[in-house]
Amino acid sequence: TKNRSLVVAIGECGLDYNRNFSTKEDQIHAFREQIKFACELQMPLFVHEREASEDTMRIFDEIVADSDIPPLPPVVIHCFTGKASEAMEYIERGFYLGFTGTICKKERGAHLRDLIPSIPLDRILIETDAPFMSFLKRKEAR
């Protein structure tokens, strides 16, 4: 369509088992359909995954195994805050990992700072996710 040039990616979509604004079943159904849509259009997929890596990877594996669905386009795991093992599984699948200001947080970002050197540079994206995930909070002038 004529507006297709305005759309550059599908997302942010995915699974969030931390907040659970929708049931797991509804999230899984919607995510599966969004991945299929990205495959059909061959547009990059921008994925939100929070405390749901096992289901996220399972769904991707099911999509990849389905010969009726076109191949996966590039996939970005947005705002990655997971475990090193999860990061490596995403990297092995050829996905990109996005890191936000969380990496600068003393305690919450420590495991991410330890992880980053083990990730190929061509798989790392730096994101702001502003204003939600700022780097360091400034102390207001008193």
Question: What's the pLDDT tens digit per position in 20-73?
Answer: 889 999 999 999 999 999 999 999 999 999 999 999 999 999 999 999 999 999
**Given this model, what pLDDT does residue 130 score?**
67
Q: 7-11, 126-130, 138-142 — which one is most confidently predicted on average?
A: 7-11
Name the pTM for this structure: 0.86
End-to-end CA distance of the chain: 54
Residue 44: burial class (beta carbons within 10 Å; 0-12, 13-18, 19+): middle
Beta-sheet strands, E only, within 3-142? 10-16, 45-50, 75-78, 96-99, 124-126
Per residue in 102-123, pLDDT (tens digit) is: 888 888 899 999 999 999 999 9
Residue 2 pLDDT:
60
